[in-house]
């Protein structure tokens, strides 16, 4: 220990990716310039019209190729809200993004409302998001799964075992070490945070393990770059 009284553990740097994990626990939504602009538009949208708009957005979210509103409807909305075409596009795409995040993370309606409040959305539109998600979220997730658009399976645990087998070639016997990797998975829903549970086992020899570790390291590097 040093003169300050800190232990070695206190002085040690945080594990790689720990700061990113902590940031994600703090908020579902990053305060990017685009998202901040979208929040301002959400807050400017008339509260009496907003739930219907959200319901239309959510109803079309499983069909990415389809427009939420027709060109005529979009023109009418721009006039009604006092938005430009670009502002309306940002509003609609951001509402879609919010629901996509809620679907991917299987977020409970109350939690979604709380996260939006933390992101700067005012109380009435944040409540509208939660209510529409409460009413229609489960149906959306079912549609997305049917179309294989969404697979919000989470890794809940990892176990492993090292094994040593034998292999014979030209009369010579050699030990062939390999690892058994078991992944514990669960698929949550808005109604059940645990959801369906299952296990996946993989047998990996040394080259395959090195390949897997290399890919995981590349993924971790990309995640760290976003923090």
For the chain, give every domain's residue range.
Answer: 25-146, 154-226
Alpha helices by DSSP H, listed for 45-122, are 50-60, 71-81, 85-104, 109-118
Distance CA 140, CA 61 (A): 8
Q: What pLDDT sits at residue 220?
A: 82
Q: What pLDDT sits at residue 110?
A: 94
Under a CB-based contact definition with an 8 Å cutoff, are residues 109 and 190 in contact?
yes
CA angle (22, 15, 155) in 5-degree steps: 65
Q: What pLDDT sits at residue 42?
A: 97
| pTM score above 0.85 | no
Residue ranges, the chain, pLDDT below 50: 1-25, 148-151
Where do we find the tokens 């514990």? Answer: 184
Under a CB-based contact definition with an 8 Å cutoff, are residues 97 and 20 in contact?
no
Where do we find the tokens 């949550």? Answer: 188
Q: What pLDDT sits at residue 12?
A: 41
DSSP 101-136: HHHHTT--HHHHHHHHHHTT--HHHHHHHHHHHHHH
Q: What pLDDT sits at residue 104?
A: 81
Q: What pLDDT sits at residue 10?
A: 40
Measure Cα distances from 5 to 10, 126, 138 in Å. Answer: 10, 46, 52
């Amino acid at each position: 220990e040093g003169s300050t009284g800190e232990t070695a553990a206190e002085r040690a740097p945080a594990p790689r990716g720990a700061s990113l994990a902590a940031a994600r626990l703090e908020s579902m939504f990053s305060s990017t310039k685009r998202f901040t602009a979208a929040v301002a538009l959400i807050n400017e949208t008339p509260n009496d019209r907003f739930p219907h708009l959200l319901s239309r957005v959510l109803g079309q979210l499983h069909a990415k190729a389809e427009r939420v509103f027709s060109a005529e409807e979009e023109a009418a909305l721009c006039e009604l809200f006092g938005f430009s075409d670009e502002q309306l596009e940002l509003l609609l795409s951001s509402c879609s993004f919010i629901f996509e995040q809620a679907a991917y993370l299987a977020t409970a309606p109350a939690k979604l409302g709380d996260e939006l409040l933390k992101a700067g959305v005012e109380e009435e539109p944040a409540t509208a998001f939660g209510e529409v998600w409460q009413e229609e979220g489960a149906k959306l997730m079912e549609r997305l799964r049917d179309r294989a658009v969404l697979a919000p399976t989470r890794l809940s645990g990892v176990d492993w075992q090292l094994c040593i087998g034998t292999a014979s070639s030209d009369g010579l016997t050699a030990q062939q070490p390999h690892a058994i990797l078991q992944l514990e998975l669960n698929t949550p829903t808005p109604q059940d945070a645990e959801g369906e549970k299952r296990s996946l086992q993989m047998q990996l020899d040394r080259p395959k393990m090195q390949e897997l570790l290399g890919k995981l390291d590349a993924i971790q590097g990309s995640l760290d770059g976003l923090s």
